[in-house]
Structure 1
Amino acid sequence: MKNYFYLIFVFVLFLSCKEEEKKTDSFSLKEIVNKQNYQMELYQTDANEYSLVVLNRLTGKVFVGKNASGWYEATNADSIPVYKTPTYSIKVFKGPESSPQISLMDEKEGEIYMYIVGHTANFYNANAGIKALERG
C-alpha cells in the first residue's frame, strides 16, 4: 500500500511539472510591433527647455515637440517611400552652440536626410553631393 501511494505521488508530481505551452496574447504582440514602429530622441537645450523628436519608422515622418507642447512636423521636400516594416531611423546631434540636427536614415535605400531644428524648412538630402561625386 505504501508503494501504491508513492507511485501516485510520483505520477502527480510528474504531471504537475509538465511544461505548459506559453502563448502571448494578441494585444501583447500588437504592443511589441507598435513599439518598433516609433523611435523617440530627447535632447535638452538648456536647464528649462527640452525637445522631443518622434519618428514614424514606417513613413519617415518626423515630429518635433518643444517642452512636450507646440508640436510640428519636420517636413521632407523629397517624397520618400512608405514601408510595411520599420525602415527609418533617426539620430539627433547637438553641438555646443548650434541648433540640434536630426539625421533621418532610410536603412533600405541608404539615403540620409538632415534637418537643422529651427533653421531649416525641410530635410535636405545629404547623399546628393556624394552621388554627384560618384558620377563625375
Structure 2
Amino acid sequence: MTSRGTIAIVLTMSPHATSPRDAFLAELRERTTAHLLQLARESAETFGRYIALPDLGARIYNRLVEEFQMDGAQEIAAALVDLVSGNLDHGTVMLTDREYQGFKLVRAEFRRELPDGPGEALDDLVLSLARTDR
C-alpha cells in the first residue's frame, strides 16, 4: 500500500507484451494452455485405464484430440469404452457421425496394435456401418 492507502500493483510484462492488458492476456493464455494440457494428459490416462490398455489407450486418446478436439475425443472415447466393455453388443447400435468417424480413424491407425477382442469388435462395427453408409 502507498502512503495514501491505495494499492500499488507491480507489473511484470512479457518482453513481447506492449501493455498491461497484453501481459495479462498472455499470462491467462499460458495458464489456460497449461491446464488444458494437464487435463488432456489425465483424460488420456483415464481412457487407457478404462479400456485396459494404458499406453495404447493414451495414444489413441491423444490422436482423437488432435483430430476432433477435446469434446469430440471425449465423445468418441466414451463410445469406445462402450464397445470394449461389450455395451454395444445389445442390439441396435446408434453412433453419431463423429463417433463413427472416430472409430474409423482408430481402426485405420491403431488396429494392428489392438488386442483381438476389441480389434475384432471395432472391425465388425465399422464394416457393418460402412455397408449401411452407402
TM-score normalised according to structure 1 size: 0.35
Q: Which has the larger radius of gyration?
A: 1
Q: Which has the higher strand share?
A: 1
Q: Which has the higher helix share?
A: 2
